[in-house]
Chains A and B, each alone.
Chain A
Amino acid sequence: MRQRAFEEQNRSNWERLHALLQDLDRPRRKRQLSAAERETFPALYRSLCNDYALACSRHYSPALEQELHRMVLWGHRHLYAGRSAGLWRLVRFIAYGFPLALRRNQAYFWVACLLFLLPGLLLGVFCYQQPELIYSVMSESQVTQMESMYDPGNRNTGRLPERSAETDMMMFGHYISNNIGIGFRTFAGGMLFGLGSVLLLLFNGVFIGAVAGHLTRIGYHETFWPFVSGHGSFELTAIVICGASGLILGHALIAPGQRTRLQSLKRRAREALQLVMGAALMLLLAAFIEAFWSSSGVPAGLKYGVAALLWLLVALYLGLAGRGARGAG
């Protein structure tokens, strides 16, 4: 068949498909074509694919080939596009997708936990016993800054005295950008064969342990522990989960098993993403607690009580949520 005849025969189909594709490009609410017309799309697209293959094998002119190829690409996009995420998917993710994903990858969580807790406990005990040790972890100015933040004479525990005029809202913003940023970086560190995540976990463990040990030793425990115990439940757990997500990436790269490194990375990254996004939501909550609850002037006893509840809540949520759910979110 000659090219001209071929074009005349199929042109009307192509034009219908073109109009459909233009309609599909519009946002959902602004579409004009009816559902019945849209249902013809797969069939029209497949007949276009057929025409394109014919045009190629019959060596019709390159311009025709190009025109059809462009339409094929365009249609491919719409036919095989994934479903867009709705608010409902987020709710399902929080309700059971995230805890389920975490429990599927428990081993990584416990390894990350060890990497974080061991150096933390060690440094904590050492700093509690030896006054000078803190200076090998952080600089002198950092130590004085940290001491002034938790000085019982400071009205605004957990903040620098000279910044005490600033509102909780400001600290909320600071905690969000700082803590969630650290969480994301811990995840990204996994791309360096897991080394980045391991180092960030160790570093955070050492730093937090040293601060806790030192402040307890110099007698600031009455301000320090009530302040950190509440939001620590979400924050520390979330940092460990971010570390675990990095370890997943690292493990996929180091030991890909039956797949190529690339395939294994692609497959495991989806799983790791669920952990890091869940952890980011936990960090968001932690920032809220830290800015508006931990810093408030509530008596220490009540703070410890709430902290115990929060830790229990985290443990129950991560350990039990979604047990009855079928399939992962």
Chain B
Amino acid sequence: MLDTTRSHETPEGIELGIHIAGPVVRACAWAIDMLIRAGLYLLIAIPALFLGGLGFGLSMIILFLIEWFYPVYFELRQGATPGKRAMGLEVIHDDGTPVSWSASLIRNLLRTADFLPFLYATGLLSMLLNRNFQRLGDLAAGTLVVYRNEAVTRVEMPPVPARQPPRNLSRQERRTLLTFAERSPVLTVERRIELAEILSPLSGARGEQAVNRLHAYASWLAQGR
């Protein structure tokens, strides 16, 4: 199974769908973060050179903080590091709630173990052996890296006068019709016709008219006469 959607049942009895992120997209996010961190190091190290011992001491402290707490800071502030945000990812607990202090600290302190023996080899192995793509730090902290839920603009169904389908449809069939009507605006005309003609035996029409007929059925299903 290559399905990367997991569900978590909430106390309200709702199944939350959580979309897990895999190793490749996380590696990209990490690379972006690495660049940002390298930039920060340079930004701090260059002025520090001119400050002598004091500047060196301060820059060591800041570098130490960036090395260990850069991910923690951003995960607590906005749920993800800038790199993860750029890739549309975020870190959450395995019950769907935002990541907490302790979980964020655990997963980021254990990064060292994941990094061993080189370039996150252990972490990658752990991710590949685990159905939720968790590295060791994620396992110990109970966190998941998931795709952020972007706001989707809802497409309106085509405004067509409603028409009752010629026979009783099953739930699955009704849903198929609704899906078709909602997806129509993003399909090309040819593809729309091609799909609609699969149902010619039901609608008894071909070409553009088949499309309209299906839209009319969908409209009837959604709002009645």
Contact = CB atoms under 8 A, between A and B. Distances in A.
Interface string A101-132: 00000000000000000000000000000000
A166 to B, nearest CB: 4
A191 B136 CA distance: 8
A196 B122 CA distance: 14
B17 to A, nearest CB: 6
A254 B98 CA distance: 30
A174 B149 contact: no
B57 A170 contact: yes
Contacts of B125: none
B188 interface: no
B203 to A, nearest CB: 19
Interface stretch (A30-38, A46-54, A141-149, A299-307): A46-54
A233 B133 CA distance: 42
Contacts of B155: 63
Contact of A171 (B57, B95, B110, B175): B57
Contacts of A221: none
Interface in B62-113: 63-64, 67-68, 76, 92, 95-98, 100-102, 105-106, 109-113
B111 A176 contact: no
Contacts of A270: 102, 106
A174 B16 contact: no
Interface stretch (B32-40, B139-147, B192-200): B139-147
A262 interface: yes
B113 A72 contact: no
A177 B60 contact: yes
B14 A80 contact: no
B57 A266 contact: no
Contacts of A53: 13-14
Nearest to A89: B101
A276 interface: yes
Q: What DSSP secondary structure best describes chain A's contact surface? A: helix
A82 B97 contact: yes
Given A76-B10, A174-B57, A188 B113 contact: yes
A188 B57 contact: no
B54 interface: yes
A173 B56 CA distance: 8
Contact of B96 (A76, A169, A173): A76
Interface string B118-158: 00000000000000000010011110000001011011010
Interface residues of B, number: 59
Contact of A191 (B14, B113, B224): B113
A88 B224 CA distance: 59
B179 A169 contact: no
A155 B110 CA distance: 40
B168 interface: no
Contacts of A49: 10, 12-14
Given A59-B174, A61-B179, A169-B58, A4 B10 contact: no
Interface of A: 2-5, 46, 49-50, 52-53, 59-64, 66-67, 69-70, 72-74, 76-77, 80-82, 84-85, 165-167, 169-174, 176-177, 180-181, 184-185, 187-192, 196, 249, 262, 265-266, 269-270, 273, 276-277
19 contacts: A2-B223, A2-B224, A3-B221, A59-B178, A61-B182, A62-B178, A72-B10, A76-B10, A80-B10, A82-B100, A169-B58, A177-B64, A184-B112, A188-B111, A249-B140, A266-B139, A269-B141, A276-B109, A277-B105
Interface of B: 10, 12-14, 16-17, 52-54, 56-61, 63-64, 67-68, 76, 92, 95-98, 100-102, 105-106, 109-113, 116, 136, 139-142, 149, 151-152, 154-155, 157, 171-172, 174-175, 178-179, 181-182, 221-224
Task: List 6 A-B pairs, minimum CB-CB distance, nearest first.
Answer: A173-B60, A173-B57, A4-B223, A177-B64, A167-B53, A169-B57
